[in-house]
């Protein structure tokens, strides 16, 4: 396996990858070996599926129309062949284009790209465990969480973190659980108070570990969920 330079952003990319993990630009060396398929495009000029948030083509800079939502698919709509690409660490190019079109922090975009490219092996109370050990996707390693899967903001804000980012259902559920545990802490007997303290700590750790993945579910997979 050799490394080549992406023709769009210059980042080093595996010669086996179908697209650049940073900008989504197709790998010509690899795509030339793939069987021809019906084109999916945003850009009417160069047919590159990678337009940015201002709907300008990232490859030829042509100004175009916003991509239709039907062209941007969730994981549930990905074909078996593309699922195989995901297992090999290469998410479909249109999913990469959807992530790159989000007007969010670049660190979060990079994290979303890693999440899209890494299969999940387990899910415990909303905390996902990934099949591949990638430093950015490890839980509880550090409180300095810029660009990694955990969120120190969520640890401090609890359910209000979800409300702030428009994830209303889970935000309301977390706040209700927090209020119930606080009530038990204030008005119940000592054994219940101890259990309430443990419950509050566990709830905050779950929010800390799952908040950014929940934002991925909201922004990329377009899920509506309570937990």
Kindly list the domain boundaries of the chain, sorted by start residue: 3-28+41-101, 146-219
Rounded to 5, what percent of the chain is helix, strand, coil? 45, 10, 45
Q: What is the pLDDT of residue 31?
A: 55
Residue 101's pLDDT is: 84
Q: How far is CA 11 from the centre of its chain?
A: 20
What is residue 168's predicted lDDT score, i.e. its pLDDT? 93
Contact 50, 58 (CB under 8 A): yes
pLDDT value at position 215?
A: 92
**Verdict on whether the full-model pTM lies above 0.75:** no
Full 3-state SS string of 132-169: CCCHHHCCCCCCCCCCCCCCHHHHHHCHHHHHHCCCHH
- Whole-number pLDDT of residue 19: 77
Q: Contact at 8 Å (CB) between 102 and 109?
A: yes
Q: What is the mean pLDDT of each run of 10 residues along the chain (227 residues)?
A: 73 75 70 50 50 52 47 46 51 75 85 86 85 81 75 90 92 95 93 94 93 90 88
The set of residues, in sequence order, having a beta carbon less than 8 Å from that of 198 and lying 6+ positions away, is none
């Amino acid at each position: 396996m050799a490394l080549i330079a992406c023709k769009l952003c210059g980042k080093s990319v595996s010669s086996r990858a179908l697209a650049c993990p940073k900008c989504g630009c197709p790998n010509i060396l690899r795509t030339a070996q793939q069987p021809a398929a019906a084109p999916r495009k945003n850009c009417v000029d160069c047919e590159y599926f990678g337009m940015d948030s201002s709907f300008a083509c990232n490859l030829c800079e042509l100004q175009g129309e916003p991509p239709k939502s039907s062209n941007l698919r969730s994981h549930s709509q990905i074909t078996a062949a593309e699922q195989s690409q995901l297992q090999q660490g290469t998410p479909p190019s249109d999913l990469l284009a959807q992530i790159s079109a989000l007007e969010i922090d670049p660190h979060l975009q990079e994290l979303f790209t890693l999440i899209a490219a890494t299969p999940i092996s387990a899910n415990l109370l909303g905390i996902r465990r990934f099949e591949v050990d990638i430093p950015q996707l490890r839980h509880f390693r550090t409180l300095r969480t810029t660009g990694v899967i955990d969120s120190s903001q969520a640890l401090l804000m609890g359910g209000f973190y979800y409300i702030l980012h428009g994830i209303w259902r889970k935000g309301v559920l977390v706040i209700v659980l927090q209020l119930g545990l606080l009530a038990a802490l204030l008005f119940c007997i000592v054994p219940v108070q101890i259990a309430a303290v443990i419950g509050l700590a566990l709830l905050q750790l779950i929010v800390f570990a799952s908040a950014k993945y929940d934002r991925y579910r909201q922004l990329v997979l377009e899920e509506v969920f309570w937990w």
